[in-house]
Structure formats: structure tokens, C-alpha cells
Amino acid sequence: MRRADLAKRVAVLVVTAVVVLAIAGAGATVEPDTEPSPIPDTTEYAPSNVVPEQIPATGTISPDASAADGTGTVLIDDAHNNRFSRSDIEPLVDALVRVGYTVEFYTGGDLAANLRDADAFLVVDPSSEFAPGDVDDVRTFTGRGGRLVMVGEPTRVAVSSGLLGTSISTQESQLTSLASEYGMSIDTRYLYNQETADGNYKHVVAESTGRGDLDGVDRTAMYTAAAVTVHRGTTLLETTANTQKSPQSDVSGRFPVAATKGNALLVGDKTFMSSGRYNVADNEAFLAYMVEFLVAGDYDPPPEPDDGATATPGDRSTTTEGRSATTGA
């Protein structure tokens, strides 16, 4: 390579380096034309704001004993593949026993015969519908002074696994045939609230409407609850504002979760009365109301047939699958 060519190339490199350094230096001293964008306020996403505060669990179920006459029987339905465990109903059963009532389970047979000596009938989350004849028996029962309490749930998705793989099924509270006879129904969607809840958006808070005789009930906590509907009845509890149904919809507001009509009571959640939830907020006061509602029943059965026929005794059982009639076990 000739010296002249080498000199030219060195000169080009030097000039290029000088230009780059000049541009970099100029850029370092240029002032921005505008103020930097402020950091957006996202305090609503802070953990303390995203997760609602958990409500303390205190209190005991103390129903007014004067609502009962000291003796009586509450019959609990266990003939429609009902989905409840000992812990789901134990606090309620214990409270009934404390006011002098006997708790028995209906496991099948002649429902009218089983109801004959009962004062109230409790139906918790059945997975099969009541047959028309059984619905008629319950209607006769409440029409003659007996009390009916129905407790349902929104539709749930159950995942089970076995030798053939995993299967997914839906579980619905089959209360349509029975509840509709009283102008009542329960929704299939669960309620949620991202502003007011018991530690989880599904654990909605429900407040007393001021209607009905709910002494000592201000607010309750419901867990995976469904809205209920009643025609010409009384709404007892409704969720706080901005509650929504899932799947998410554009409609939000307050939804009824407990209502009465005559001698029937419908509640859209069963977990609130379980051993781990019964004393959250005013749940124990609402359970005391349910006990008083049940024991206020005074069924006057129709007269026995006078043609010498003997009524079918049915299958009235005080124990079923390890459940005790007097201890809730």
C-alpha cells in the first residue's frame, strides 16, 4: 500500500472520530423540551387494597328459646343426594338441640309420613329434584303450619380423576321444582365483589334490608353465594353495592341472598353456617333467626284415615352415614 493512500485513510478515521465525539458531547448538554411524565398512581393495585380485609370470627348462636315450646322435631332432607357434611350443618343442629328440639334425617320413603311428626323441614343443596308427589307433600306440610328452609348454592364445576383420566362435571342445586311452588328461585351464577368482601372477592358481604324480624343482624358474610328471587315475599339480606354475577356482566348492584314467603325461607349459600364460618360478622345472629324460624313451625297433620287403613310408616331415620340426630354428628 502506498504511503499516500494510508495517510488518506488515517485522516478519514480521525475526522470520523471527531464528529462522533462532537455529536455525543452536544447530546449530553441538550435540555429536554418537556418535563418527564409523572409516575401513574396505582395505589388501587397495592396488596392491601386488592385483597379485602378479613372479617373477624366471634360470637355464638343464641336463639330466643321462647320461640320454641321446648319440644319438637326438625327433619333434614337426605334423600336427594344432598351435598352437605357434618361440619356444614353442625352449628345449626347444635343450636336446635340447645332449644330442646330433636333433629332427624329423611332418607327416603313416604315423605308425608316422615313429616307427620315434624315441625320443620330443612333442605340443603340437593343434587336431584323433588318428585311432584313429594312437592305436594311439602306444600301440604307448610300449608298446615310446618316450616320449610331451603339452602342452595350457585352452579359449581367439579373435577374428578380416575383410572380412565380426568373428568369435569357441573353441580347445581336442584331446588327448582320445590322452590318455584313458593314463588322462589335461586340463580346459577355466583356473586362477587372486589370492594367489600371477607378476604376474597367471592366472599361477599350481605346486609339486612330492615324487613323481617332480624334482630341483631347488621351484616353477614356469604361464601360463593347465589342470588335468590321471591315473588311477593320479603327480602331479608342483600349484598353490598357494586356486587356482580359471574360470568362477568355489565350489571352490578345489590342482590338478595335470603328471602321468606309465608312458612318458607330460601338462602343462597350453605357455607356461611358451617363450623368455620358460622360466627363471622353477624352470621351467628342470622343462624339464630333461622333456628327461631324453624322452631316456630306448628304442623297440624291431617286426620288419620278412618277406613281402617294403616299409613305407611316410611323410612324415618335418626342416623345416616354416621350423622347423629341429636348431636349433629
Amino acid identity, position 76: I
Is 37 within a domain?
no
State the total domains in the chain. Answer: 1
**Model pLDDT, residue 20:** 46
Is 52 within a domain?
no
Return d(Cα 223, Cα 274) in angstroms, integer: 10
**Model pLDDT, residue 215:** 85
The CATH code of the domain that includes 92 is 3.40.50.880
Burial class (CB in 10 A: 0-12, 13-18, 19+), 145: middle
**Model pLDDT, residue 254:** 97
Return d(Cα 315, Cα 317) in angstroms, integer: 6
- The residues near 260 (Cβ < 8 Å, ≥ 6 apart) are 212, 230, 233, 234, 236, 266, 293
**Model pLDDT, residue 173:** 86
Is 48 within a domain?
no
Return d(Cα 140, Cα 99) in angstroms, integer: 26
Question: For the whole model, what pTM was predicted?
Answer: 0.76
Is 65 within a domain?
no
C-alpha cell of 223? 361464601
Is 242 within a domain?
yes
Contact 109, 314 (CB under 8 A): yes
**Model pLDDT, residue 278:** 94
Is 40 within a domain?
no
**Model pLDDT, residue 162:** 59
**Model pLDDT, residue 251:** 83
- Domain coverage including residue 181: 70-322
Residue 170 Rama label (left phi>0; alpha psi -120 to 50; beta): beta
Is 55 within a domain?
no
**Model pLDDT, residue 38:** 52
Low-confidence ranges of the chain (pLDDT < 70): 1-52, 68, 157-170, 305-329
Is 190 within a domain?
yes
Look at residues 124, 140, 53 and name the one whose alpha carbon lies nearest to residue 90: 124
**Model pLDDT, residue 41:** 44
Return d(Cα 76, Cα 53) in angstroms, integer: 35
Contact 191, 238 (CB under 8 A): no
